[in-house]
Structure 1
Amino acid sequence: MPYKVMIVDDAAMMRLYISSFLKTLPDFKMVAQAANGQDALDKLSDHEDLDLILLDIEMPVMDGLEFLRHAKLKTRAKICMLSSVTVSGSPLAAKARELGADGVVTKPSGTVSHDLEERVGDELRRVMRSLVEAA
């Protein structure tokens, strides 16, 4: 049974790149996507069996950090930040961890990283697997 994943990113192209990446991993399946944190929170009740949420930070309506403040009360899913602004050791990465992010992977080339798989695919696969297997 594949792990169930929600993608939360305001950039439609980035959601497409991430979902294409997930299709290369037989043990993961994208079951939901959202364009901002509020949209994602609304969808959590329909997807109570999520295993993993891949979450951007910079989004309109509700950003990823605000989503984290609410999500940990509503889901058991592991949450991995996937953002261009969560560079390892940065204040935003630390804040995301403080608010409950289980993992952090930096988008390699900005908001819409067309080279996601080539540049950080191995790292993202490793982080995703370690999070869901630790659950």
Structure 2
Amino acid sequence: MDEELLAAFREEFAALCASLAVAEDMPVAQRLLAQLVAMAEGMEMAPLLARLRECQAEESLPALRDAIRALAEDEPTEARPIRTLIVDDSAMMRRLLRGILALDPRFSVVGEAVDGAMGLSAMAELQPDLTLLDLEMPVLDGMGFLAEWALSGHGQVVVVSSAAHPGSPAALEVLRRGAWAAVAKPSGALSPDLAERSGAEILATAREAVGAG
């Protein structure tokens, strides 16, 4: 990315954040936030866009101001990796998901966990932009993970599970609990064309979840 363009972006971004942080009413703050979102989209800064969309979910002006102040403390940088956590008890599936994400250099797998409890600990430590989550796991399953994540979690969650076919009760429930989407694992875990059949949908959904589509 051109350094002059990036410098101009940083200057304008900082100015908008400063204006939003002292906005006197919610309509003005929302208009400024919409401008920030449009800038992040135009510069294709997916992680920044994901954080801005989290700010859009704030319902009160003080909470929105605080969220923007916290975001402004992290200077926007070019093409910051999309930090991704994989939570699945299957070593083969974790390896497969790493391979799928590797097809897009914007994704960086920063951690893995074999159950929901370890996943929550890893999320608290790593603060990922995106978590790919299985449902059927020991210790704490995916539904339990989502219940805790909804209260104090970070980033977006995409469920990747054989129990979450589109339209199924499980898929509807994970959406109700706040997950961005539910993508089904294909049947036949040892099928040699597993990645080919599932990879495109999983990768497309991951991109959409963090605004990198």
- TM normalised by structure 2 equals 0.59
**Superposition pairs of residues 24-63 of structure 1, within 5 angstroms:** 24-48=103-127, 50-63=128-141
SS in 2 for 1:45: helix
Quickly say closer, same or farther: Cα 1:38–1:85, change in 2 above 3 A: same
Structure number with the higher helix fraction is 2
Extract unaligned runs of 5+ from structure 2: 1-79
Within 5 A, what are the aligned runs for 1:1-135? 1-48=80-127, 50-110=128-188, 115-133=193-211
Deviation per residue, 1:21-56 (Å, 9 max, x gap): 2222101010010000000111122112x1110000
Amino acid at match of 2:172: A
Q: Which has the higher contact order (CA 8 A, sep 6+)?
A: 1
Match of 2:210, SS?
helix
- Whether contact under 8 Å (1:109, 1:115) holds in the other structure is no
Q: CA deviation at 1:95?
A: 1.0
Gaps of 5+ in 1: none
RMSD: 1.7
CA change 1:116–1:36 in 2 (3 A) is: same
SS in 2 for 1:62: coil
Count matched residues.
133
The residue that corresponds to 2:64 in the other structure is none
Q: Choose 1 or 2 for highest CA Rg.
A: 2
AA at the equivalent of 2:177: L
4+ runs of 1 displaced by more than 6 Å? none
- Larger deviation: 53-62 or 113-122? 113-122
**Structure-2 change in CA distance of 1:4 and 1:123 (3 Å):** same
Gap change, CA 1:8 and 1:114, over 3 Å in 2: farther
